[in-house]
Amino acid sequence: MSIIKDVQSGKKPLKRAYVAIFLWFTGRAIQAAAKVDREVKKEFEKLPENFTFSLGCLPDGPWMVVGREKGVVKYLGGDSRGRPVQVRLAIKSLDAGFLILSFQESTTLATARNRLITDGEIPYALAIIRILDIVEVYLLPKLIASLAVKRYPSWWTPARKFGGRIGVYTRTLLGI
């Protein structure tokens, strides 16, 4: 008779739901920003054809998968569906994911605190981080975005900031 019982961690449904919704929205926003923002477009163009990356929480998600197909950037949902993933940005736990994605801890600080694991080529991972930073600036008000990114781009022209924001939000909500 076994006297050792497996200890299951709590499911944390609210945190899981928050992180899942955030990743779903961000994935769609990346797809949108790749059409709206010249810098994001340029970053993706430098990545190989069929490049795919994922961002999510260990050990069992949720995840966001974004890939490039025939030059078009697409949000592929929460599962890579057998597609090879070149870069995986894994947050060590759901709790850490919640801290980062609710902006209680900046991405930079999370990296410094060893909460993120990068699996894949560093130059590609750096490009993804730059893309994520731009997308966060579009999605979030300055006060919150300043917590998420290392440097808020206050030098962006109003046309880029506000025009881009409208474009990204519209496309994200419509999924186009």
Q: Which residues of 30-63 are buried (b: 16+ CB within 10 A; e: fewer)?
A: bbbbbebbeebeebbeebeeebbbbbbbeeebbb
Q: Is 149 in the site for another protein (CB under 8 A)?
A: yes
The piece of 2-10, 29-37, 72-80, 106-114 that touches another protein (CB under 8 A) is 106-114
Q: Pick the closer one to another protein by CB: 74 or 85.
A: 85
The secondary structure element, H or E, covering residue 17 is helix 13-36
Site for another protein in 154-173 (CB under 8 A): 154-155
Strand ordering across the sheet containing 87-91: 72-75, 63-69, 52-57, 87-91, 116-119
> Can you tell me the distance from the alpha carbon of 134 to that of 149, in angstroms, rounded to the nearest whole number?
9
Q: Which of 123, 162, 166, 176 binds another protein (CB under 8 A)?
A: 123
Nearer to another protein, 45 or 69 (CB): 45
Residue (74 or 161) nearer to another protein, CB: 161
Instruction: Count interface residues toward another protein (CB under 8 A).
Output: 22
- Interface residue with another protein among 129, 135, 139, 148 (CB under 8 A) is 129
Q: What is the DSSP string of 33-90?
A: HHHH-HHHHHHHHTSPTT-EEEEEETTT--EEEEEEETTEEEE--S--TTPPPSEEEE
User: Which C-beta is closer to another protein: that of 77 or that of 140?
Assistant: 140
Exactly one of 117, 144, 166, 173 binds another protein (CB under 8 A); which one?
117
Q: Site residues (CB under 8 A) for another protein? A: 108-109, 111-114, 117, 119, 122-123, 125-126, 129, 133, 146, 149-155
